[in-house]
Every structure is written in structure tokens, then in C-alpha cells.
Structure 1
Amino acid sequence: MATLAEVARHAGVSASTVSYVLSGKRSISEGTRDRVERSIQELGYHPNAGARALASSRSHIVALMVPLRTDMYVPVMMEIAIAVATTARQYGHDVLLLTGEEGPAAVRRVVGSGLADAMIVMDVELEDERVPLLRDSVHPSVLIGLPSDPSGLTCVDLDFTATGELCGDHLADLGHRDIAVIGEAPAVYQRHTGFAERTMEGLRRRARERDLRLIHRPCDGSYESTAGVLSRIFEERPRTSALVVQNESSVGPLLSLLQQQGRAVPEDVSVIAICPDQVAEQASVRLTSVAIPAQDMGRRAVELVIGKLEGRDPHPLTLLPPQLTVRGSTGPAPTV
């Protein structure tokens, strides 16, 4: 492995100049900086993390808080985490993954230990207990999610309120009036998790505006739970002609149950899902869906937090507009 001294000889500069290029502590001419950076790349030099931290007063580590709860769809969470890690490496940063459900304690631990220069926080609740600490911290932070009061914070998320509205509009335009939502696990709503609450806010708004009859039933995603929820929906609202699914684990069981009951999709029941494209495309019926832009959210979160570390003041709120892809699972409401 190349040493700093070897990089200096290769670039024709002093070792201190290489250190200044790495730390950014002094202004270095563009030509010299380019020469040093080319040498670093050609020799495959990787500065010692401890020495680099001492030299720059930074760890070049970003902490990613991603509680891995059993009631969440882990593949999406990990897709975001991978996007964060790969993007951070492009900026010369590593990622410290915090997967426990520690809440404010984890924020205090990161801030108090100096383990990381910045934090990216996921699984954001409307009244998230971590938010006051993040507002007061000297460490930059970005939330992937949106609390009820985002003032003083930098947040990036899919616009889930607009997502709910888009689903409602699509089904209303097709003539559906009785719509049921198969939602996330009950604990997700008990925590008032932002994405789930905001989706329902958008759907309820469209229900009021377009005279839709809407019911919402949480579901833990298992076959048994999905069967129970579906049975309850049709018992309470026999004329239900469309289902909005915001629970990736329920997609497979739901389509199987509808087939067993002799309900054709979309002739008898339309189904629209809020899920990754892969889930929608690989279902037994290709689902009309609003995609979860996991990679985009992870990438943008890193870009925002790096901007804050470099002294830039990014836009506090980045809401990604939802994109609806119409496939084979939605059609006109059946005639009575």
C-alpha cells in the first residue's frame, strides 16, 4: 500500500503539501491539487482514518440511523442504506450504520463520542423524539422522512401526501367510488410514522374532494392477516371495487386471495400499490404503482449532508414528486 511520502515523490511536492490537500487546511493551487489527486488515484493511496481525523478534525464518517424493525419492509430500508453508503464513498466518507431502536440515546452517543461528522436519520415519526436533539446539535444532519414540524431541519422524502392524492385521483378517474386501503402494520400507525400518516392524509383529502368512500385497515403483511383484512373489507363494504396497498409484504397474499375468491383483477377489483417497481413488476398481476425512489432518496440525503459539511446551506425540504406507472391491475369500475 502506498504511503504519503510516496504520493509526495510521485507528485513532485512535499509531504506537507499532500497533507494540506487531504485536510483542506490551506489553500493549494489548482494545478498542484490536481497533480496530488492524480498521484493519490494512480498509487491507490488511502489515508489512515485516525491520522486523517487528527489532521482535519473530522472523522470522514457519516452515521446512518436506520432502525430495523420487524414491522417495516427491510428491503426498501436497506436499498436506501446501500445508496447512502455508495454515495458517501464517492465523497470520501464511510458510513457508520446504527440499526438499533435507541432513539435519542443514539443521537447523544454519536454527538458525544465524535464518532461521526454528520448524521442521516431514517424511519422518521411525526413527533420524533430525535428531532429536538438534531436541531440543537452542532453536527449537520439530514432526515430521510418528514416530521410534523420540519423547521430548522433538512429533510428529503417522497411526497407521500401527493402520493395518496395521486392514487385517489387515478381510481376516481376510472369511476371507482368505494376504495379500501390495506396499510402497514398497526405499530407503524401507533408510532405515527411519517410516510404512512402522510399517505393517508393525501388519500383522505381526495376522498373528501371527489366524493370517495374510503376505509383504511392496517395489516401486518402475513397471509393470515391479509386474509382477515380482506374478508373484513368486503363484509363492511361489499361494493368495494378498488384497493390501495401500502404494504409490500401483503401484495403476494392479496393477489392470491383475490384469485381464490374468484375476483378478477382488474375486472372485478382494481389494485394499486405503493411499492418498489420490482415488487410491482414481479407480482402475479403486474401492478399499477407509485414507486418508492429509495436510491434517489439515499443519494440526495448524502449530497445534502456533504453540502452542509462544506458550509453550504441546502434547501431545507426536498420532496420528490410521485410517479404513477399504470400496468395491468387497474381498470374502470365494474358496472352494477
Structure 2
Amino acid sequence: MAGLNSCRVSRPISTNVQVSGTATDYINTYKDLAISEMRRTGVPASITLAQGMLESDYGRSSLARLGNNHFGIKCHSDWTGQTIRQNDDRRNECFRKYRRPEDSFYDHSDFLRTGSRYRFLFDYEPTNYKAWAYGLKKAGYATHPDYASMLIRKIEENRLYEFDRVYTASAYKPQNKVQRTESGNGQTVKPDPAGQKTGSVPAQTQSQPQPQPQPPVKESTITFGDVMARAPRIMENNRVQYIVVKDGETKEKIEKDFQLLKWELARYNELDANFTPVPGQILYLEPKRDRAEFGTEYHIAAEGETMYMISQKYGIKLKSLLDMNGMAEGSNPVKGQKILLQPAKETN
């Protein structure tokens, strides 16, 4: 299909995450990550899941299996990580290859959050998935003429909109208001979804789509606890184990469940000793590392992003991150600032 990643494999291939290829399996595997990304960036969880399902064929495409790339994210000149070659609109195109599927989800969220052509999407309500779907098509995310309808069908067939309602109905809110601004000097990690014509910015002169009323959902249909109940508890980032806080969890309960001493959780996450966990918050269960994983060289700061937020995102100790960038304690970056995630290479 034009504008979609349609590569397939004919035999099973070993991957980091086992996905059997059904909608239910895909949702159960990635729903907690989609909700966490909605909290971090404001991209609706329903849209993230629907795009992942559609672009990766429920995790079965060769790009997803071989490259952990669920959104057809193409290479750019500043990409320093691993790559994988696939046929798309042109033969043997370069796509980004990730160590984990989660990294593809993070990259996708950041692309929508920082891309100027998608800025208008964040004016929609986060539960208005139809406006988001039509907006993505209008902005040129994919070339398939029915892309918006395909996303909407995925969302409604699988009731993915319920995950958006969890976000708005609970305390699961963003900790900071994300500004949708274009990152500086083009150095940000900015994916180019399969089928998107690089450098071609569609006109924004047409009137915004008028979405139809969404299907009614009873308040008791789903809760945050329901969503997170079957989510994998212990995950890994930068070879450091972490969890996503569930609704109603206290610091004491987490410490008891994971057999942590009273000081460990706060110290590992560089928080006040008496902090209160927030649903959707990432908490590390062991000390963070002094640098990012291999291949992750730097991060371009978004407006309002703090050094602590960056340290949590990449599983790096805050002091190490500050030292690598020659910044004093309490300092924070400006929009577009390049933040090193690895020590600067020594030169003779």
C-alpha cells in the first residue's frame, strides 16, 4: 500500500518482544506505553496504537521484526544509530533500526510533538481521535488516500478510544504543558514515516475536518487500573529496570512489592524522600547509568523540558548528564539545545 509499510516475512524471526500478530496481543503489549506517551507528549494513545498496528501489521512486518521499527521511521543525515534497508516508495530505502520496540514509540511521539507541520493537531481535544486521524492525513503523514479512515476503523473496531478516556478521566495528566515547536537546526530526532515525502509540506489552508460524534462510552467501561492491570510490570531502559506507576499505588506499596529499602526508590529516581508517585510515572528500580545506551548520542531539548526529565527518559543519572554538558546543578536547557548523552569524544 502506498504510504504504508507493507513488507512481510514468510517465517518466524526472533525479536525482543514476542507478538503473535493479533490486535489483542498488540494492544496488551503496548497499551501501557501508549498511555505513558500520551501523558508525556499529548499524542492520543488511540492514535499511537492504531498507527503502530497499521504501519507494522500488528508487529509482523519485516521492518518491525528485524528493526523494531513500528512506525516506518526513515533515516536522516544526522542518524547515528543502526539502520535497516527496505523497499518502500523507492527500492532499498534506509530506515532506523532500534534496540527495542519502545524506542520506536518514543521517536514517533517526539516527531509529532516537535514537527511544525503537526502543530495544529495539538489544538484538538486529546479524545478527538477522528480529528487527529484526518489531521495526520492532511499533514502528509502517509500517502494512502484512505489513511484517516483506516486509522479510525482500527480505533473503533478495537475500542482504542477507551485508553484516551482513561487519560482524561483520571489523574493521568501531563506534568508539563508541551509546546509544539519545531526543534532547532534540524538536529532533533525527527522520523520520516514510510510514504511521507521529505521536504514536502502540505498546505494548511483547507478548513479543519469536522469529526463525527464519538461512540458513547459509559464511565464504568474502563478504568486506569483496568488498563494497567495486565501491563508488564518490570521493563528495561538503558539496561536499567523500571515500572510505570499504577493508579492508587503508593511509595510504600511499590517498595514492598519490589522488596526495596525505604531509601532506594527515592534515591534511584533522584526524588525527595517523601515523594508521592503519580499514575503513569516512570520509576527506576535500580541505579541509573552514567551515559545512554550505545548509539544514542544526544537529545534535542523541547520547550519546557528539564534536565531531570531528560535524565529519566534515557535512564541517566542527573549529575552525570549535567557534567557531560558542563551545566551546573539546577540548570535547564533552552528549546533546541543539543544535550549530550555520551561523554564528548577526546581529540588529540
Q: What TM-score comes out, normalization by structure 2 length?
A: 0.23
Whichever structure has more helix as a proportion of its residues is 1
Whichever structure has more strand as a proportion of its residues is 1
- In our comparison, the structure showing a higher alpha carbon Rg is 1
Q: What TM-score comes out, normalization by structure 1 length?
A: 0.23
